[in-house]
Amino acid sequence: MSTLYGILLFGATVAFMEAFAYGMHRWVMHGRLGWLLHASHHRERHGPFELNDLYAVIFAAPSIALIWMGTTGGWGPPAVWIGAGIAVYGAIYFGFHDIIVHRRIAHRVVPRSRYFKRIVQAHRLHHAVETREGTVSFGFIYAPPVERLKALLRKGDRSGVRAPKGGSTDLHD
């Protein structure tokens, strides 16, 4: 297997993982069964961990298995490249979501680019809803335009919309 093919397979895996993560977030994590773990992420966290963190373990398992089987189990280099793509997507997710957006590790990074600002705003709009239904923006490294997300929130059922500290649920800001 050529290195170029491996790099293409790796890149395709990272791109596929965004689509996969979107679907898992929207229809599994916000579904009836998946909400059992994910609900903790839409509530105030007490301590360094939340039940939702178990998803990291669940999603890391295929990556570990593919790398292991690719290096020792006879599956060969394609499995390693795919497993590495899944792992890198997980690292990107951890960096954007857990560190930059949720500040689970102290840092001084201030999103300044339009892209970073859009990702952070989109995820904050996702968390404007405390319930499993009625929320917007399920991707992690891609987010629709913020104005479109605000419009979707305005159109939806407002029962799960979290009131900001000022008490208003106005999405016109």
Residues of the chain with pLDDT > 70: what percent? 90
Domain ranges of the chain: 3-101
Give the residue-averaged pLDDT of 123-129: 91
CA 77 to chain centre: 27
Contact between 114 and 92 under an 8 Å Cβ cutoff? The reply is no
Q: Give, in order, the Cα–Cα distances in Å from 127 to each of 47, 71, 112.
A: 19, 40, 21
Q: Does the pLDDT at position 95 exceed 60?
A: yes
Q: Does the pLDDT at position 117 exceed 90?
A: yes
pLDDT digits (tens, 9 = 90+) for 37-59: 999 999 988 899 999 999 999 99
Q: Does the pLDDT at position 168 exceed 50?
A: no
Give the residue-averaged pLDDT of 147-159: 80
DSSP string, 49-68: --GGGHHHHHHHHHHHHHHH
